[in-house]
Structure 1
């Protein structure tokens, strides 16, 4: 770990955190937290592309670890799911969980394939 790697992760993380805040604020609705869903799905795909392209380590630190790490959120996703269950919104809960898990895996794989094609 170097000072540069810390700076790269920190700068990417700052951008990712602001983007996540923006999308959560604008898109999260009572029916379904679309902001959290969107950032998690987009983050999965972008990380797949970055790995598939095999970007240099410095870019992976900034964009992968920093930006995508701060943009995506597992803890908020779990809290939102828990809130749906405690509010007895089981259909919404299973839809949200299914879209998040299956969509995240599928988009990460698709991103990886796209990255391989691009490289």
Structure 2
């Protein structure tokens, strides 16, 4: 493994996580609902699909895909948000968060992959 690419991927992951944090807080304040992580995961899934469809090299896949987009998206935030919604007796919204994120994010990944392949 190329150590330089590994370090770039680690830095990109940190950047992705920081961008996720800022964007999640911004969206949550603007919309006043826990939709930030949902939007982030759907957009990240779409972008990873596009990147995969482009059939980029291993270095770009590592740094941008695993690093930046891996840090940007998160399953753990979906899990915690859903638990917090359940504790607030918002069980329907918690269930919608889990299922909606999965279904829409997978659809976005599929659409992004199709778009990336069509462009190449």
**TM-score (ref. length: structure 2):** 0.91
- Alignment deviations for residues 81-117 of structure 1 (CA, whole Å, 9 cap, x no partner): 0111121102211222232011011000000000100
Q: Does the CA contact (< 8 Å) of 1:8 and 1:58 recur in 2? A: no
Q: How does 1:1-119 map to 2 (within 5 A)?
A: 1-28=1-28, 32-119=33-120
Q: Where do 5+ consecutive residues of structure 1 fail to align? A: none
- Report the Cα distance in structure 1 between the residues aligned to 2:10 and 2:62, rounded to whole angstroms: 9
> Residue 80 of structure 2: SS of its match in structure 1?
helix
Measured on the aligned residues, the alpha-carbon RMSD in Å equals 1.6
What is the count of residue pairs matched by the alignment? 119
**TM-score (ref. length: structure 1):** 0.91
Q: Where do 5+ consecutive residues of structure 2 fail to align? A: none
